[in-house]
Amino acid sequence: MADLRIDLAGIKSPNPFWLASAPPTNSGYQVQRAFEAGWGGAVWKTLGDPILNVSSRFAAVSFNGQRVAGFNNIELITDRPLEVNLQEIYETKKRFPDHAIIASLMVEPKQEKWHEIVKRVEDVGVDGLELNFGCPHGMAERGMGSASGQVPELVEKQTYWVKEAAKTPVIVKLTPNITDITVTAEAATRGGADAISMINTINSLAGVDLDTWNTVPHVAGKGAHGGYCGPAVKPIALNMVAECARNPLINVPISGIGGISNWQDAAEFILMGATGVQVCTAAMHHGFSIVEDMIDGLNNYLDEKGIASVMDLVGRSVSRYSNWGDLDLNYKIVAEINNDVCINCNKCHIACEDTSHQCIDLYTEDGRPMLKVREEDCVGCNLCSIVCPVDGAITMVERQSTVPPMTWNERQSLISSLSK
């Protein structure tokens, strides 16, 4: 079987599957249960000055029968004393010495505060530190979390302060609630971060109850914005990981977070530059045992690809992720409909006729309804294949172009040279 061991900035674990800093890593009991189930590491729920949490605090967005397509929470950092958490970290690390335990930290943006908590946490034997510059609610209103994480100067300065005191690797957790995450990732790198993790949760409101008009969730009739995660945020997270992985100024390992629910999601993040992944919502939805399928699935995938180690998979797709201006304008694909498989629901025709390029014709052959794509009008947008409910009924196929490849940037350069 393939070797699933990873080394993320010097933090080693038996596999790339870590639990993210969240309710599943709130106590030693939970983290030890997770390690018994097979998780390779855990980022302990964020430590700092204990706070009071509210009730209620979670909400979910379901879509088309899928429960927990997205997850919203207004829970804050640990509400348990630091001394209790530290004792449980010590006991857990002693029992599971080969598993990675990373302490998530959040304090006021003051040098002495960071130095103090770093020393106390490292004294109990953690393998690394994760600086929580991402929490978008509650703590941000107090000047911490994403309030710090949205300011590159603060990210750089606080990372530097932690590195002054830290003896273990430092991971900086980034907020997605910013126009360009590479700006803060670069700041973390300048500050000396050994790695970055992303994404933390996205500002959100899960919904409004149409009977009571209360927000979902609400606390005694009042609501507040929370953090959004779960499968719905995966494309956002994957893009941000990719943008950082291809940026030459961000030359540190990445821990990928955001909507990872199975081994396929994990493999995508690893291909796009993540050394390992962190999971939260899927574990909250299905329990710790989901890691068994993740391990088996990734193992089988690597074996099928002939890849000996998961570390050899890291970043293999990064070079294929580019700017729009570098895409070939002359590349051609078209839709092809297999009428032997088609069930004549006509969803492709409706979608194309109403909202795309009107290139799918309806006709009858031997008394049977048929569909055909007019290739000369098809722009290869993929919409018909996306809305089709039957696998294999519509295929997007390449057509050889009669003209050489040309990107937008090349086109503009050519136009500029001809105009001179």
For residues 382 and 369, what is the distance between their CA atoms, to the nearest angstrom?
A: 22
Whether residue 117 contacts residue 105, with contact meaning beta carbons closer than 8 Å, is answered with yes
| Residue 49 identity (one-letter amino acid) | D
Q: How far is CA 26 from CA 67, 80, 88, 129, 169, in A?
A: 24, 9, 10, 16, 22
3-state secondary structure of 359: coil
Strands, E assignment, 107-169: 128-133
For residues 86 and 117, what is the distance between their CA atoms, to the nearest angstrom?
A: 11
| Residue 316 identity (one-letter amino acid) | R
Residues near 290 by beta carbon (within 8 Å), at least 6 away in sequence: 261, 262, 279, 282, 283
For residues 194 and 209, what is the distance between their CA atoms, to the nearest angstrom?
A: 44
For residues 128 and 282, what is the distance between their CA atoms, to the nearest angstrom?
A: 24
Whether residue 149 contacts residue 134, with contact meaning beta carbons closer than 8 Å, is answered with yes
Active-site residue list: 135
Whether residue 355 contacts residue 405, with contact meaning beta carbons closer than 8 Å, is answered with no
3-state secondary structure of 235: helix
| Residue 276 identity (one-letter amino acid) | G
Give long-range contacts, CB 8 A cutoff, 24+ apart: 31-35.
31/88, 31/92, 31/101, 32/92, 32/95, 32/96, 33/288, 34/283, 34/288, 34/291, 35/92, 35/96, 35/99
For residues 310 and 299, what is the distance between their CA atoms, to the nearest angstrom?
A: 9
- Would strands 274-279 and 254-257 be described as parallel, antiparallel, or unpaired? parallel
Whether residue 225 contacts residue 204, with contact meaning beta carbons closer than 8 Å, is answered with yes
Strand partners, 207: 216
Backbone angles phi, psi at 97, to 5 degrees: -65, -25
